[in-house]
A and B are shown apart, each in its own frame.
Chain A
């Protein structure tokens, strides 16, 4: 099928009215020790199911569980890691969202899976493809406070090992596609060789899943050709930071599938269908149409729920229109 649509990862977990605020309320009750983990878990499951059904109802091909259990995309991965404590808040890139910093006190080592359980629970709720999402080793390393490793490289390698295990577990448990988010590599491209080498370690642990690598919150055009060398199957791009990425795709073509982040996850302004369609059509004259995925530019939880829903719906309508045109 052409122009496959994929959700990016996160989905707003709170909306309007008591039903859509139930998770928020229960989470607070759990924090105040009024309810136990089991009761919160029930709500998580119910939410995962609803969020997945919502994506299915719109017609999204590759869905996610909305990452609704994640405190944030950084500290979530420090939860089951030895010698990693969770420290103070810091702003996540240039968003209005804050994450807690992993504080590295010794050699880090995996203490158990992180995303595997979430994947196994959520996959029951859909017959569509469910895509687990991981934050990449480079971003995790750069956003950690390192009080142990003598050099940054060693920290990246150790986060890489932990994520490789996660990829091994997910791929052997049947995840057909696994997404790795690496926004930070766009800000520190001087480390690209290191990044490449860690991605190779991750690929070695992969037991047959397609690996998707998404960069966002920055301009990826400077490293487009380097990204093409990574051992991954799909490269995802944010089209809203710098405008050169289309030119790079036209210039270099692509060996890999491309996840076109043409739906802006950071603004409430709705995409004009025609504009997106013409961008994709233009790219189709340079690259194979079978290589194109359409997705938001980043996770959707920076938007209110109703806006996220409308944007995803719009995205599916755009892909349908493109499919019609291709035929």
Chain B
């Protein structure tokens, strides 16, 4: 896969560091988003504040010295309703609990899903213009869009999923055409019904990625991964991003030699605790993983998006992650 990067002119160190996508929104932005939803603030004014927050996070990511940056998703509420709001055919539904005290507005498919303009492109371009480092483009995948929406239109899960895949293909093409080289497809729902993986999830991912010149990552988390391994390795992508620290690395026990067919982004930071993992802890997590995985094929990141953390928590967690990775890189170079 490194070949792709040299072709793109990207010089990534061993164990590249990145984040999964979302970063904490400043309190001011949260407040303004509410005003916007109530119709008290127009889109342009909100956009200005979102851009300000994006600029700040790009700067922070550069300071921390992450290798692949993200725009931080300052403009997304949650990963599913953001796309649902921007595609035709869906309606935003009521609040449904996700876990603990977290809720999301579960969208409803009410007619044929249609893509009429790019959803994320403008935001990606803006973040990309702020830095010389690569910025990863991120979309919510077709399977998760289907699984996390109520469906009052299509006749089956498969039909709904493949319909999402067809429209999201347009989004991916628009990103690739504009120069995005690293594209992440978020599929936290991927393990939900293991039989569906080979029935139609593989087709859906193929629709999104085939014949496109980019490095594709699929992000999965908090599922029963053991039930879809090794099948998940057959999906058309370059890198699988897996949440590992939340589950105390039990997932890694499933890995065998087949895992080397893909690059693996290894989640080494638990995003659901306030506790800042210290450098030693993160370092030993990475070391344990490198006993199983090939260091040339590993990326380092948190388990999931960091939007539920406070800004300083996210910043400190990431800084320790990068520092731990740097120490290991040095050790690897020596050996």
Q: At the interface, is chain B mostly helix, strand, loop or mixed?
A: loop
Out of B100, B223, B250, name the residue touching A145 (CB < 8 Å): B250
Q: Are B151 and A96 in contact (CB under 8 A)?
A: no
The reply to whether the CB of A14 lies closer than 8 angstroms to some CB of chain B is yes
Question: Which A residues between 89 and 106 are near B, CB-CB below 8 angstroms?
Answer: 89-91, 94, 96-100
The docked-state distance in angstroms from the alpha carbon of A77 to that of B331 is 45
Measured between beta carbons, the chain A residues less than 8 angstroms from B224 are 90-91
Q: How far is the CA of A123 from the CA of B268 in the complex (A)?
A: 46
A97 close to B250 (CB less than 8 A): no
Interfacial chain A residues near B272, Cβ < 8 Å: 88-89
Interface flag for A43 (CB, 8 Å): no
| Interface pick from B11-19, B189-197, B286-294 | B189-197
* A97→B99 contact, CB < 8 A: yes
Q: 1/0 per position for B90-133, CB-CB distance to A under 8 A?
A: 00011111111101101010000000000000000000000000
The verdict on A268 contacting B108 (CB below 8 Å), with A96-B147, A304-B95 known, is yes
| Residue of B93, B101, B147, B151 with highest tally of chain A CB at under 10 A | B101
Contact A88 B99 (CB under 8 A): no
A91, B96: Cβ atoms closer than 8 Å: no
Chain A 1-19 near chain B by CB (<8 Å), digits 1 or 0: 0000000000011111000
- Residue in B closest to A30 when the chains form the complex, CB atoms: B101
B200 within 8 A of A: no
Closest to B194 in A: A94
Interface size on A, residues (CB 8 A): 33
Check B248 for interface membership: any CB of A closer than 8 A.
Answer: yes
- A99 cross-chain contacts in B, Cβ below 8 A: 99
Q: Are the CB atoms of A24 and B103 closer together than 8 Å?
A: yes
Choice from A13, A15, A89, A303 contacting B246 with Cβ under 8 Å: A89
Q: Which of B106, B191, B193, B248 contacts A96 (CB 8 A)?
A: B106
B45 interfacial contact with A, CB 8 Å: no
Which A residue sits closest to B104, measured CB to CB? Answer: A96
Chain A residues with CB under 8 Å of B150's CB are 267-269
Chain A residues with CB below 8 A from B270, complex form: 88
Q: How far is the CB of A240 from chain B (nearest CB, A)?
A: 13
A94 touches B193 (CB 8 A): yes
Task: Tell yes or no: B148 within 8 A of A by CB.
Answer: yes
- Whether B247 sits at the interface, judged by CB under 8 Å, is yes
CB-CB under 8 A from A87, the residues of chain B are 247-248
Chain B hits for A100, CB < 8 A: 99
In the complex, the chain B residue whose C-beta lies closest to that of A270 is B152
- List residues of B (137-190) whose CB comes within 8 Å of A's CBs: 147-148, 150-152, 189
Q: Does B229 contact A (CB under 8 A)?
A: no
- List, in ascending order, chain A residues with CB within 8 A of B99's CB: 72, 89, 97-100
- CB within 8 A of B151: which of A31, A145, A267? A267
Q: Which of B96, B98, B101, B147 contacts A98 (CB 8 A)?
A: B98
B82 at the interface (CB under 8 A from A): no
- B110 closest partner in A (C-beta): A268
Q: Does A252 contact B (CB under 8 A)?
A: no
B271 to A: closest C-beta gap in Å: 10
Within 8 A of B (CB), among A18-47: 24, 27-28, 31
Q: Which residue of A lies closest to B147 (CB)?
A: A96
Q: Kindly identify which residue among A28, A94, A307 contacts B192, using a CB–CB cutoff of 8 Å.
A: A94
Answer yes or no: A148 CB below 8 A from chain B CBs. no
Evaluate contact between A31 and B101: CB separation under 8 angstroms. yes
Asked if B93 and A13 sit within 8 Å, CB to CB, the answer is no
Whether B96 lies near A302 (C-beta < 8 A) is yes
Interface status of A301 (Cβ within 8 A of chain B):
yes
Q: A71 contacts the other chain (Cβ, under 8 Å)?
A: yes
Cβ of A306: which chain B residues have Cβ within 8 Å of it? 94
State which residues 27-75 of A face B: CB under 8 Å: 27-28, 31, 71-72
Q: In this assembly, does A176 line the interface, its C-beta being within 8 Å of a C-beta of chain B?
A: no
| Alpha-carbon separation in the docked complex, A28 to B150 (Å) | 27
Q: Evaluate whether A268 and B93 lie within 8 angstroms (CB atoms) in the complex, with A27-B101, A28-B101, A89-B272 already known.
A: yes
Q: A31-B101, A96-B106, A268-B152 are in contact. Are A91 and B192 (CB under 8 A)?
A: yes
A12 and B97 form a contact (CB under 8 A): yes
Chain B's nearest CB lies how many Å from the CB of A101?
8
Q: How far is the CA of A306 from the CA of B96 in the complex (A)?
A: 11
Closest to B303 in A: A88
Contacts of A91 in B (CB 8 A): 189, 191-192, 222-224
Q: Please tell me if the beta carbons of B248 and A305 are within 8 angstroms of each other in the complex.
A: no
Give residues of chain B (268-283) contacting chain A, Cβ–Cβ below 8 Å.
270, 272
* A interface residues with partner B (beta carbon < 8 Å): 12-16, 24, 27-28, 31, 71-72, 87-91, 94, 96-100, 145, 267-269, 301-307
Top-4 shortest CB links A-B: A304-B94, A88-B246, A98-B99, A268-B150
A-B contact list, 23 entries, CB within 8 Å: A12-B96, A13-B97, A15-B95, A71-B100, A88-B246, A89-B246, A89-B272, A91-B191, A91-B222, A91-B223, A91-B224, A96-B147, A96-B189, A97-B96, A98-B98, A267-B150, A268-B152, A301-B97, A302-B96, A303-B94, A303-B96, A304-B93, A305-B94
| Given A268-B150, A304-B93, 18 other A-B residues pairs in contact with their CB atoms under 8 A | A12-B95, A12-B96, A14-B95, A15-B95, A24-B101, A27-B101, A71-B100, A88-B248, A89-B222, A90-B222, A90-B223, A91-B189, A91-B191, A96-B98, A267-B151, A268-B108, A304-B95, A305-B95
